[in-house]
Amino acid sequence: MKSDWKDWQKTRAYRRLQELARKPYDLTVADALLRDGRLNSYICRSDFFSLFYAGQRVDDQVLAVLQDLADECGLVGQFAAMRRGAVMNRIEGFDSENRQVLHTACRDLFTDSPAEPKAAAQAREEIEKLRTFLHELEDGTIRNAQGEDFTTMIHIGIGGSDLGPRSVFEALRPYAREGRAVHFISNVDPDDAAAVLKKVDLRRTLVNVVSKSGTTLETLANESLVRQALIEAGLEPGKQCLAVTGKGSPMDNPERYLRSFHMFDYIGGRYSTTSMVGAVMLGFCLGIDQILDFLRGAAAMDCGAENFRLRENLPLLLAMLGVWNHNFLGAPTLAVLPYSQALLRFPAHLQQCDMESNGKSVTRYGTPVACKTGPVLWGEPGTNGQHAFYQLLHQGTELVPVEFIGFRKSQYGEDLEIEGTSSQQKLLANLLAQSVAMAVGQKNPNPNREFSGNRPNSILLGDRLTPASMGALLALYEAKIVFQGFLWNINSFDQEGVQLGKVLAGRFLKNINEQEPKSRSLEAAVLKAVGGGPEGRK
Amino acid sequence: MKSDWKDWQKTRAYRRLQELARKPYDLTVADALLRDGRLNSYICRSDFFSLFYAGQRVDDQVLAVLQDLADECGLVGQFAAMRRGAVMNRIEGFDSENRQVLHTACRDLFTDSPAEPKAAAQAREEIEKLRTFLHELEDGTIRNAQGEDFTTMIHIGIGGSDLGPRSVFEALRPYAREGRAVHFISNVDPDDAAAVLKKVDLRRTLVNVVSKSGTTLETLANESLVRQALIEAGLEPGKQCLAVTGKGSPMDNPERYLRSFHMFDYIGGRYSTTSMVGAVMLGFCLGIDQILDFLRGAAAMDCGAENFRLRENLPLLLAMLGVWNHNFLGAPTLAVLPYSQALLRFPAHLQQCDMESNGKSVTRYGTPVACKTGPVLWGEPGTNGQHAFYQLLHQGTELVPVEFIGFRKSQYGEDLEIEGTSSQQKLLANLLAQSVAMAVGQKNPNPNREFSGNRPNSILLGDRLTPASMGALLALYEAKIVFQGFLWNINSFDQEGVQLGKVLAGRFLKNINEQEPKSRSLEAAVLKAVGGGPEGRK
């Protein structure tokens, strides 16, 4: 594998791109979007989405060199190797997690020859356990003490065990089964749990506790809070709590849980939505068939990511356009703006998946990187954002590339024509208008009404947000992130940067506990300064 | 006024800061946080919050020059003039909104000598109207056709009429009155409205329509959708809809609304949360006394912002530290990270308030700015974020300054001790740990476990999140943003950058409507390329 890892900044393509970046395609000249059939040729189509990228500051030449760069660095080959079980989560020559990266196996269920048969078999086994469990909820095998159905699930998890599952749940609400509700607790802030516990009928509630390591402080604290509440209500936690955890973790204890589902050490938290981490809660809410559709959409995208042709490989293209904007045109952030209220938490999921994966400063050889790695990713749904931060996108001094996401049809199909157009049409019209405005800009004799344009953006357009297209969308961004990590030569699968905070938090807690902190440590001094010693104990 | 507007880059202080920025305070050397009593002296206290800023890369010298800069540019004087009715919303020599900026008057109710008596009197009048209305809901004067109480409010607004009110509603949920629920519709996405309409009992629902101009496309579309639903349910919209709008706007029509409340042209949308834009919904939910507490907190912060001493003026200090990080240390973004689940939407509000105010490229004289103006602001609550994007904050190649927000006590006071500490203590310990880790960093022989430190951050700590402290927090950031705008010499009160998108959206809608778009316009070509013409009509 190591021979495949090339220093991308030493390739011919890199130097060529640096030259081309001095004079990137100018979107503000007359007919810039229409020239050379650009609008109709800068489209990459896949099963569930098409990417319209005429609004990026690229031309055929740049695209050709981006293809060369992807080839020289063997990006598609590395992706294929990852899916087939290569040990990609490691730092050469240093202590590291040293694991395979096989979140793609969770959805590799729809072929007779999965890329990594062992992991795919484990995924299949978990899916079958889930199918059985959901069936037993259905046919009355599993009921509460009063013989009633369970109508509610509290999903307890944080980070990867929360953001991905929650954003998919929000996205697929319209497909939820009648009479099944889901609530989430993630934050160690006790108010988060308190607010949820106020809302639910505990007797009819399943508690889904999700932690890969089985040691996540926030999740265990919230589990304890909820178990306490169950006991106070005269209920038996062991009959209502489910566990989703790594095999052999401290939480992997069937005596404490009604049912246990597993994930495996080759699945990273932020890539785990299509594993049981997401599937148990989504299965409760949507049913097994919708889950399979969701996985099918993701699987299709994974397969598409093995196409060597840049302009036909949606995740690779999105990755390379991002690199062009970030490393060559110098944009430090990326805005992902879905024109779909259902995707309101999707940017938060991507923020985690992208920034935790690629917010790194060390290569896979343990040397300092010599380039910018992952950007700051952020976003909110449109048209809401238009009335908020778009001012800066159009006229600010920071260059913010935008990835728009939209759909031709609404989910509910409940709409009203006003002045001859439906709300869904207005939504789409706004998306297109913003894309064009950012690219083309506008001259004006009033300098305050001038738009400089040349703000690069693309539009990812789907037909409708469904379980299958949601799966594809999730897998698209997972693969995009992975491709960028391969190119930058970093390990996109560990997260050593979260360790120091954990260690220090432990030290602070130790000091908070001491009645009379005699320690001369920094922690004791900080606690004294903020008054957290005595007041925190009240 | 113009004589007060100084080109900050031509001041002596600016040049001095450029020199100092070459060697900013190094937080990673031994005892960097403890030297010179730094931990205990780099604290700015106000009525509801203290700012701990030892984790910023400043020393006494930098702070002294930042004070000089604030003085030379007359920032506090401009703030005082704004509160007293100066016409600050304008561009000299060009067509502009040319208005006063008096959102502060909405809460200037607690003194006999308000800064701008006319606007304060108008605010008082609206508050009295609200008091009467809430009282009539209470004593049964206002009921539905069946003689029942109204239990639910749908708040329809977007941008400034949504993000601020909604984030305050989320923050103050624990103070909500029993039996009063609020739902929000903002997006023109029809699924947003459909999801809310599924949840409510329309008979017992008031509909609060909020648009300053009375012409906001999304809000009017959603109002129509909801009115339609009311009519289909056999109800009379005019007896259940409320209007919050500018005096004289097209929506200012008492015949169509049960009750109308006003805001005024001197209040910008993103600064309008303490006007009737926020107060009607919050009043329904919390009651008039809590609203007054909320306003009182904001008023106290406004008064504090007129202190000329930088280190005692919380908003001014926060503004100048931000300028140091953004303009002198080169950080393009700002993360606001509240360790409070209740503040989950507060970063989204700030994102609007800050980026729409200061995402500008033209000075108040209509000349191009020669400096970076507003940063990209983003954030999510901790500890959730720790399990998401903090990896990049600690080890990424982008420098992201952080403003932490925390509270010593939880809102509900429902907590559980696990391993000797409560969840609230764990929350605080995590906040402090992250702050220290980012500042100090850590050496490690494994390069992947090394933390470079010197990532500037501060902690804004309050006792508890209450209506009053929420008001103070809101006003703090409003004033901070305004101070930065004064310094950069931009108009923080207009939003010309959103106009082009609106115009283009109209053109797209026109083309969508044509059965056979013959037009050779860019819009027609784009619609054809994305297939929005025929498919959009289905």
Band (A533; pLDDT cuts 50, 70, 90): very low
Output phi, psi for A406, to 5 deg. Answer: -150, 170
Q: Is A51 touching B (CB cutoff 8 A)?
A: no
Please list the active-site residues of A.
Answer: 356, 387, 502
Q: Is B52 touching A (CB cutoff 8 A)?
A: yes
Do B281 and B153 contact (CB within 8 A), yes or no? yes
List chain A residues with CB under 8 Å of B159: 384, 386-388
Residue of A nearest to B225 (CA): A416
How far B253 CA lies from chain A's nearest CA (Å)? Answer: 20
The reported pLDDT for the residue numbered B537 is: 37
Q: Is A394 touching B (CB cutoff 8 A)?
A: yes
Cβ contact, residue pair A191, B446, below 8 Å: no
How far A240 CA lies from chain B's nearest CA (Å)? Answer: 20
Percent of chain A with pLDDT over 90: 89
List chain B residues with CB under 8 Å of A535: 408
Residue from the list B52, B189, B339 with its beta carbon closest to the beta carbon of A410: B189
Q: Is B498 touching A (CB cutoff 8 A)?
A: yes
Please determine, for residue A334, whether its predicted confidence score (pLDDT) is greater than 60.
yes
Other C-beta atoms within 10 Å of B125: how many? 11
Cβ contact, residue pair A498, B390, below 8 Å: yes
Band (B533; pLDDT cuts 50, 70, 90): very low
Q: How far apart are the C-alpha atoms of B286 and B282, rounded to whole Å? A: 6
How far B80 CA lies from chain A's nearest CA (Å)? Answer: 26
| Alpha carbon separation from B512 to A420, A422, A535 (Å, rounded) | 10, 10, 62
Residue from the list A426, A496, A522 with its beta carbon closest to the beta carbon of B509: A426
How far B533 CA lies from chain A's nearest CA (Å)? Answer: 10
Neighbouring-strand partners of residue A418? A421
Find the helix or strand (DSSP H, E) in which A407 lies: strand A402-407
Closest CA to B161 of B78, B261, B233, B65: B261
Q: Is B359 touching A (CB cutoff 8 A)?
A: yes
Please determine, for residue A11, whether its predicted confidence score (pLDDT) is greater than 70.
yes
Q: Is A223 touching B (CB cutoff 8 A)?
A: no
List chain A residues with CB under 8 Å of B535: 408
How far A66 CA lies from chain B's nearest CA (Å)? Answer: 22
Cβ contact, residue pair A190, B228, below 8 Å: no
Which tens digit of pLDDT belongs to each residue from A279-288? 999 999 999 9
Q: What angle, rounded to 10 degrees, do the helices at A314-323 and A467-488 form?
A: 50
B residues 442-481 lying closer than 8 A (beta carbon) to A: 442, 446-452, 459, 461
Contacts of residue A180, Cβ cutoff 8 Å, sequence gap at least 6:
A151, A152, A153, A284, A285
Cβ contact, residue pair A423, B188, below 8 Å: yes
Overall average pLDDT of the A514-526 stretch: 77
Please determine, for residue B426, whether its predicted confidence score (pLDDT) is greater than 80.
yes
Overall average pLDDT of the A270-294 stretch: 98
Please determine, for residue A124, whether its predicted confidence score (pLDDT) is greater than 90.
yes
Cβ contact, residue pair A538, B409, below 8 Å: yes
Q: How far apart are the C-alpha atoms of B498 and A395, rounded to whole Å? A: 9
Residue from the list B193, B529, B536 with its beta carbon closest to the beta carbon of A428: B536
Band (A512; pLDDT cuts 50, 70, 90): confident
Band (A518; pLDDT cuts 50, 70, 90): low
Contacts of residue A64, Cβ cutoff 8 Å, sequence gap at least 6:
none
Residue from the list B195, B437, B529 with its beta carbon closest to the beta carbon of A500: B437
Long-range contacts formed by A517-526: CB under 8 A, 24+ apart: A522/B33, A522/B34, A522/B436, A522/B440, A523/B432, A523/B436, A525/B33, A525/B34, A525/B39, A526/B33, A526/B39, A526/B432, A526/B436
Q: How far apart are the C-alpha atoms of A521 and A514, rounded to whole Å? A: 13
B residues 53-112 lying closer than 8 A (beta carbon) to A: 54, 91, 94-96
Cβ contact, residue pair A496, B395, below 8 Å: yes
Query: Domain B2-93+305-494's class?
Result: alpha beta
- For B89-157, what is the HEC assignment? ECCCCCCCCCECCCHHHHHCCCCCCCCCHHHHHHHHHHHHHHHHHHHHHHCCCCCCCCCCCCCEEEEEC
> Are the folds of B2-93+305-494 and B103-296 the same?
yes
Closest CA to B474 of B289, B296, B254, B253: B296
Domain boundaries, chain A: 115-293, 497-536
- A50 sits in the region (left: phi over 0; alpha: psi -120 to 50; else beta) called beta
What is the C-alpha end-to-end distance of chain A, expressed in Å? 56
Contacts of residue A330, Cβ cutoff 8 Å, sequence gap at least 6:
A399
Do A495 and B391 contact (CB within 8 A), yes or no? yes
Which tens digit of pLDDT belongs to each residue from A368-415? 999 999 999 999 998 889 989 999 999 999 999 999 999 999 998 888
Please determine, for residue A2, whether its predicted confidence score (pLDDT) is greater than 60.
no
B535: Cα separation from own chain's centroid = 38
How far A51 CA lies from chain B's nearest CA (Å)? Answer: 9
The reported pLDDT for the residue numbered B536 is: 37
Band (A188; pLDDT cuts 50, 70, 90): confident
Output phi, psi for A210, to 5 deg. Answer: -120, 115
Cβ contact, residue pair A412, B191, below 8 Å: yes
Q: What is the pTM of this model?
A: 0.96
The DSSP line for B192-232 is HHHHHHHHS-GGGEEEEEEESSS--HHHHHHHHHHHHHHHH
Which tens digit of pLDDT belongs to each residue from B204-237? 999 999 999 999 988 999 999 999 999 999 999 9
Please determine, for residue B28, whether its predicted confidence score (pLDDT) is greater than 50.
yes
Q: Is B402 touching A (CB cutoff 8 A)?
A: no
Active site residue B212: no
Choose the catalytic residue: B2, B198, B387, B518.
B387
Overall average pLDDT of the B420-448 stretch: 95
Helix (H, G, I), strand (E, B) or coil at B387: helix
Helix (H, G, I), strand (E, B) or coil at B44: strand
Band (A513; pLDDT cuts 50, 70, 90): confident
Cβ contact, residue pair A434, B527, below 8 Å: no
Q: How far apart are the C-alpha atoms of A160 and B394, rounded to whole Å? A: 18
A residues 362-381 lying closer than 8 A (beta carbon) to B: 362, 366-369, 371-378, 380-381
Which tens digit of pLDDT belongs to each residue from A202-236? 999 999 999 999 999 889 999 999 999 999 999 99
Overall average pLDDT of the A299-326 stretch: 98
Overall average pLDDT of the B454-475 stretch: 98
Residue of A nearest to B459 (CA): A530
Strands (E), A15-128: 43-45, 49-52
Largest Cα separation within chain A, whole Å, is 75
How far B2 CA lies from chain A's nearest CA (Å)? Answer: 18
Mutation site for A-interface testing, chosen from B219, B380, B410, B423 by largest number of A Cβ within 10 Å: B423
Please determine, for residue B2, whether its predicted confidence score (pLDDT) is greater than 70.
no
List chain A residues with CB under 8 Å of B441: 500
Mutation site for B-interface testing, chosen from A89, A224, A400, A500 by largest number of B Cβ within 10 Å: A500
Residue of B nearest to A228 (CA): B416
Q: Tokens 């629902």 label which residue?
A: B205
Output phi, psi for B52, to 5 deg. Answer: -100, 115
Q: Which of A170-179, B466-475, B510-519 has the lowest mean pLDDT?
A: B510-519
Q: How far apart are the C-alpha atoms of A259 and A280, rounded to whole Å? A: 11
Do A33 and A459 contact (CB within 8 A), yes or no? no
The reported pLDDT for the residue numbered B417 is: 87
List chain B residues with CB under 8 Å of A380: 348, 351
Do A261 and A195 contact (CB within 8 A), yes or no? no
Q: How far apart are the C-alpha atoms of A295 and A103, rounded to whole Å? A: 11
A465: Cα separation from own chain's centroid = 16
Considering the four listed CATH numbers 3.40.50.10490, 3.20.20.105, 2.40.30.10, 3.40.50.300, the one that applies to the domain covering B103-296 is 3.40.50.10490
Overall average pLDDT of the A335-345 stretch: 96
Q: So what's the ipTM on this one?
A: 0.96
In the predicted model, what is the mean pLDDT of chain A? 94
Q: Is B358 touching A (CB cutoff 8 A)?
A: yes
Q: Tokens 């067509």 label which residue?
A: B95
Which tens digit of pLDDT belongs to each residue from A65-122? 999 999 999 999 999 999 999 999 999 999 999 999 999 999 999 999 999 999 999 9
Percent of chain B with pLDDT over 90: 89
Long-range contacts formed by A3-10: CB under 8 A, 24+ apart: A4/A74, A4/A77, A4/A78, A4/A81, A5/A364, A5/A365, A5/A489, A6/A72, A6/A73, A6/A74, A6/A489, A7/A489, A8/A69, A8/A72, A8/A73, A8/A371, A8/A487, A8/A488, A8/A489, A9/A370, A9/A371
B residues 1-40 lying closer than 8 A (beta carbon) to A: 33-34, 39-40
Which tens digit of pLDDT belongs to each residue from A410-468? 998 888 888 889 989 999 999 999 999 999 999 999 999 999 999 999 999 999 999 99
Q: Is B181 touching A (CB cutoff 8 A)?
A: no
Q: What angle, rounded to 10 degrees, do the helices at A190-199 and B423-440 form?
A: 140
List chain A residues with CB under 8 Å of B504: 432-434, 436-437
Considering the four listed CATH numbers 3.30.1490.190, 3.40.50.10490, 3.50.50.60, 3.40.50.261, the one that applies to the domain covering A115-293 is 3.40.50.10490
Q: How far apart are the C-alpha atoms of A48 and B468, rounded to whole Å? A: 49
Overall average pLDDT of the A8-15 stretch: 97
